[in-house]
Homo-oligomer: A and B are copies of this chain.
Amino acid sequence: MKKIITIARQYGSGGREIGRKLAEAYGIPFYDNEIISRAAKETGFAEAAFKNVEDKATNSLLYSIAMGMNVFSHQEIGFTGLSLDDRIFLAQSNVIRKVAEEGPCIIVGKCADYILKDRENVINLFISASVDFRINRSIQIDSLPEKKAAEIVLKKDKSRANYYKYHSGERWDNVLNYDMAIRSDLCGIDGTVECIKAYLDKI
């Protein structure tokens, strides 16, 4: 499987776990929200990134991105004039382009499908699930009280759609953005992983 897989997902649908399992199955790197945010945070503030540069340099990914970001930011689009959100988005975009450059991988969230839209060999997935399934998952996994879980599930969907719209100008829920979209609650997380694998193995 020589593709870069992006996964957009509804909160509580298990998209992140599905991505992790696909990455394990194919033996390719897995980049989730947290990893990308952490890397981007380092690179989003060029000055900070260049303190203790020897330490940073021991992490080749962060270092090269910090270098890239520095060039990108100050010469190409006047990085310093942008809002914090935009700076963070640019830093995340840089991380996503960088890891995609390194070869096949799974990237969850962060408008990765949009950021890599002009790249070949990218497969975009969307994972959804029923509201009940997602509420129950967030009760179990994030151990939230039921009422809070229901509230968060609906709120997170809205904010993911808004985030995508703000940065891409496109609709997050547009079926035509995705090569495959699948509901994870009908055949469970592992069943969904198998279905996606069946598809990816044919491409």
Which residues on A are within 8 Å of B, measured CB to CB?
123, 126, 128, 173-183, 186-187, 191, 194-195, 198-199, 202-203
User: What is the bound-complex CA distance between A13 and B194, given in angstroms?
Assistant: 24
User: What is the bound-complex CA distance between A198 and B116, given in angstroms?
Assistant: 29
* CB-based contact A182/B199 at 8 Å: yes
* CB-based contact A128/B175 at 8 Å: yes
* CB-based contact B186/A183 at 8 Å: no
* CB-based contact B203/A186 at 8 Å: yes
A174, A175, A202 interface centre (most CB from chain B within 10 Å): A175
| Consensus secondary structure, chain A interface | mixed
User: What is the bound-complex CA distance between A179 and B129, given in angstroms?
Assistant: 9
* CB-based contact A202/B198 at 8 Å: no
Known A-B contacts A194-B198, A195-B199, A198-B194; the reply to A179 vs B173 at CB < 8 A is no
Provide the residues of chain B in CB contact with A177, threshold 8 Å: 175
Can you report 14 residue pairs joining A to B where beta carbons are below 8 Å apart? Answer: A126-B181, A128-B176, A173-B175, A174-B174, A174-B175, A175-B175, A179-B183, A180-B181, A180-B182, A181-B181, A186-B199, A187-B199, A187-B203, A195-B195
Q: Shortest CB–CB separation between residue A157 and chain B, in angstroms?
A: 9
* CB-based contact A174/B176 at 8 Å: no
Q: Which of B173, B187, B203 contacts A202 (CB 8 A)?
A: B187
Provide the residues of chain B in CB contact with A194, threshold 8 Å: 198, 202
* CB-based contact B179/A180 at 8 Å: no
* CB-based contact A178/B179 at 8 Å: no
User: What is the bound-complex CA distance between A175 and B172, given in angstroms?
Assistant: 9
* CB-based contact A183/B180 at 8 Å: yes
Provide the residues of chain B in CB contact with A176, threshold 8 Å: 128, 173
User: What is the bound-complex CA distance between A181 and B186, given in angstroms?
Assistant: 14
